Chains A and B, each alone.
Chain A
Amino acid sequence: MSDTTTASTPVPSSRPQGSPAAAPTSLVGALEIDVRFLGMIGALAVIWVVFDFLADGTFLTPRNLWNLSVQSSSIAVMSTGMVLVIVMRHIDLSVGSILGVTGMIMAVFQASYLMPTFGFNHPAVMVLTLAAGIAIGAAIGALHGFVIAYLGVPAFIVTLGGLLVWRGAAWAVAQGKTIPLVDDNFKLLGGGADGSIGATWSWIVAAVACAAIAFAAVQARRQRQRFHFPLKPVWAEIVLVGAGCLAVIAATLVVNAYTLPPVLARRYAEAAGLTVPPEGITISFGYAVPVLVALAVGIVMTFVATRTRFGRYVFAIGGNPEAAELAGINTKRVTMAVFALMGALAAIGAAISTARLNSATNAQGTLDELYVIAAAVIGGTSLAGGAGTIAGAMLGALVMQSLQSGMVLMRVDTPYQNIVVGIVLVFAVWIDTVYRKRFK
Chain B
Amino acid sequence: MNTATSTPAQSATALPPGASHIAGTPLVEMRDICIAFGGIHAVDHVSVDLMPGEVVALLGHNGAGKSTLIKILAGAYKADTGDIRINGEAASIANPRDAKRYGIETIYQTLALADNVDAAANLFLGRELLTAWGTLDDVAMEAATREVMGRLNPNFRKFKEPVRGLSGGQRQSVAIARAIHFNAKILIMDEPTAALGPQETAQVAELIKQLKAEGIGIFLISHDIHDVFDLADRVSVMKNGKLVGTARTSDVTKDEVLGMIILGKSPPGAVPGPGASLD
Residue contact B144 to A12, C-beta cutoff 8 Å = yes
Residue contact B112 to A320, C-beta cutoff 8 Å = yes
Which chain B residues lie closer than 8 Å to A329 at the CB level?
A: 125-126
Report whether over half of chain A's contact residues are helix, strand or loop; otherwise say mixed: loop
Q: Mark A296-330, 1 if CB is under 8 A from B, else 0.
A: 00000001001111001001111110111111110
**Interface stretch (choices B80-88, B164-172, B268-276):** B164-172
**Interface stretch (choices B23-31, B38-46, B134-142):** B134-142
Which chain B residues lie closer than 8 Å to A226 at the CB level?
A: 139
Q: A316-B117, A323-B114, A329-B126 given as contacts; is B199 within 8 A of A10 (CB)?
A: no
Chain B nearest CB: distance from A267 CB in Å?
48
How far apart are the CA atoms of A340 and B127 in the complex, in Å? 24
Assess whether A440 is interfacial by the CB under 8 Å rule: yes
Chain B nearest CB: distance from A411 CB in Å?
44
Assess whether B97 is interfacial by the CB under 8 Å rule: yes
Residue contact B115 to A319, C-beta cutoff 8 Å = yes
Which chain A residues lie closer than 8 Å to B146 at the CB level?
A: 17-19
Assess whether A387 is interfacial by the CB under 8 Å rule: yes
Q: A7-B210, A12-B147 given as contacts; is B165 within 8 A of A440 (CB)?
A: yes
Q: A19-B157, A312-B128, A316-B125 given as contacts; is B114 within 8 A of A324 (CB)?
A: yes
Chain B residue nearest to A87 in the complex (CB): B116
Assess whether A6 is interfacial by the CB under 8 Å rule: yes
| Central interface residue in A22, A308, A315, A323, by most chain B CB within 10 Å | A323
Assess whether A8 is interfacial by the CB under 8 Å rule: yes
How far apart are the CA atoms of A228 and B143 in the complex, in Å? 9
Chain B residue nearest to A385 in the complex (CB): B116
Chain B residue nearest to A223 in the complex (CB): B139
Residue contact A326 to B152, C-beta cutoff 8 Å = no
How far apart are the CA atoms of A256 and B135 in the complex, in Å? 36
Residue contact A308 to B116, C-beta cutoff 8 Å = no
Residue contact A319 to B114, C-beta cutoff 8 Å = yes
Q: A320-B113, A326-B108 given as contacts; is B136 within 8 A of A7 (CB)?
A: no
Chain A nearest CB: distance from B256 CB in Å?
32
- Of B106, B140, B196, which contacts A326 at CB under 8 A? B106
Chain A nearest CB: distance from B122 CB in Å?
8
- Of A15, A227, A306, A327, which contacts B142 at CB under 8 A? A227
How far apart are the CA atoms of A317 and B125 in the complex, in Å? 10
Assess whether B4 is interfacial by the CB under 8 Å rule: no
Assess whether B11 is interfacial by the CB under 8 Å rule: no
- Of A5, A224, A317, which contacts B139 at CB under 8 A? A224
Which chain A residues lie closer than 8 Å to B153 at the CB level?
A: 1-3, 7
> How many residues in A have their beta carbons less than 8 Å from beta carbons of B?
47
**Interface stretch (choices B55-63, B200-208, B224-232):** B200-208
Residue contact A10 to B148, C-beta cutoff 8 Å = yes
Residue contact A6 to B114, C-beta cutoff 8 Å = no
Assess whether B150 is interfacial by the CB under 8 Å rule: yes
Q: Of residues 149 to 200 in B, which have CB atoms within 8 Å of A's CB atoms? A: 150-155, 157, 164-165, 167, 169-170, 172-173, 180-181, 183, 196, 199-200
Residue contact B151 to A8, C-beta cutoff 8 Å = yes
Which chain B residues lie closer than 8 Å to A319 at the CB level?
A: 114-117
Assess whether A175 is interfacial by the CB under 8 Å rule: no
Chain A residue nearest to B171 in the complex (CB): A1
Chain A nearest CB: distance from B210 CB in Å?
6
Assess whether A117 is interfacial by the CB under 8 Å rule: no
Which chain A residues lie closer than 8 Å to B116 at the CB level?
A: 315-316, 318-320, 386-387
Chain A residue nearest to B168 in the complex (CB): A1
Q: Mark A1-37, 1 if CB is under 8 A from B, else 0.
A: 1111111111111011111001000000000000000
Q: Mark A427-440, 1 if CB is under 8 A from B, else 0.
A: 00000000000001
How far apart are the CA atoms of A323 and B76 in the complex, in Å? 10
Residue contact B135 to A308, C-beta cutoff 8 Å = yes
Which chain A residues lie closer than 8 Å to B154 at the CB level?
A: 3, 5
Residue contact B200 to A2, C-beta cutoff 8 Å = yes
Which chain B residues lie closer than 8 Å to A4 at the CB level?
A: 199
Which chain B residues lie closer than 8 Å to A171 at the CB level?
A: none
Chain B residue nearest to A307 in the complex (CB): B135
Assess whether B121 is interfacial by the CB under 8 Å rule: yes
Chain B nearest CB: distance from A259 CB in Å?
41
Residue contact B117 to A328, C-beta cutoff 8 Å = no
Chain A residue nearest to B162 in the complex (CB): A319
Residue contact A12 to B181, C-beta cutoff 8 Å = yes
Q: Mark B87-99, 1 if CB is under 8 A from A, else 0.
A: 0000000011100
Residue contact A315 to B126, C-beta cutoff 8 Å = no
Residue contact A7 to B152, C-beta cutoff 8 Å = yes
Residue contact B136 to A307, C-beta cutoff 8 Å = yes
- Of B97, B170, B206, which contacts A6 at CB under 8 A? B206
Interface positions of A (Cβ within 8 A of B):
1-13, 15-19, 22, 223-224, 226-227, 229, 303, 306-309, 312, 315-320, 322-329, 386-387, 440
Interface positions of B (Cβ within 8 A of A):
74-76, 95-97, 100, 106, 108, 110-117, 121, 125-128, 130, 134-136, 139-140, 142-144, 146-148, 150-155, 157, 164-165, 167, 169-170, 172-173, 180-181, 183, 196, 199-200, 203-204, 206-207, 210-211, 214
Known pairs A1-B152, A1-B172, A386-B115. 15 more at Cβ < 8 A? A2-B155, A2-B200, A3-B155, A4-B199, A11-B183, A227-B140, A229-B139, A229-B143, A309-B130, A312-B117, A320-B113, A323-B110, A323-B113, A327-B125, A328-B95
Would you give 26 A-B contacts (Cβ < 8 Å), ordered by A?
Answer: A2-B153, A2-B199, A10-B148, A10-B151, A10-B210, A10-B211, A11-B214, A12-B148, A12-B181, A19-B146, A227-B140, A307-B136, A308-B135, A316-B117, A322-B110, A323-B112, A323-B113, A323-B114, A324-B126, A326-B106, A327-B112, A327-B126, A327-B127, A328-B97, A328-B100, A328-B127
